Amino acid sequence: MIVFEEELKKFHKSLEVEDTEDAIFKEDLTDMLDLFLNVAQEYDGTYTGEQ
């Protein structure tokens, strides 16, 4: 039988998870508004390719 409290004591957060979190939060990701604006600009003919 698994003893939940004992398993929690053994738990250590993976360094890879922390590194991934940092990379995601520091990255300037394209969101849906950026995508919509790019599509609208392409349709309009005013698209510059810059974000």
Q: Looking at residues 2-23, what average pLDDT do you find?
A: 83
Question: How large a percentage of the chain has pLDDT more than 90?
Answer: 4
CA distance 24 to 44: 32
CA distance 1 to 6: 11
Query: What's the pLDDT at 21?
Result: 79
- Encode pLDDT of 33-44 as tens digits: 888 888 888 888
Residues in the chain: 51
Whole-prediction pTM: 0.35
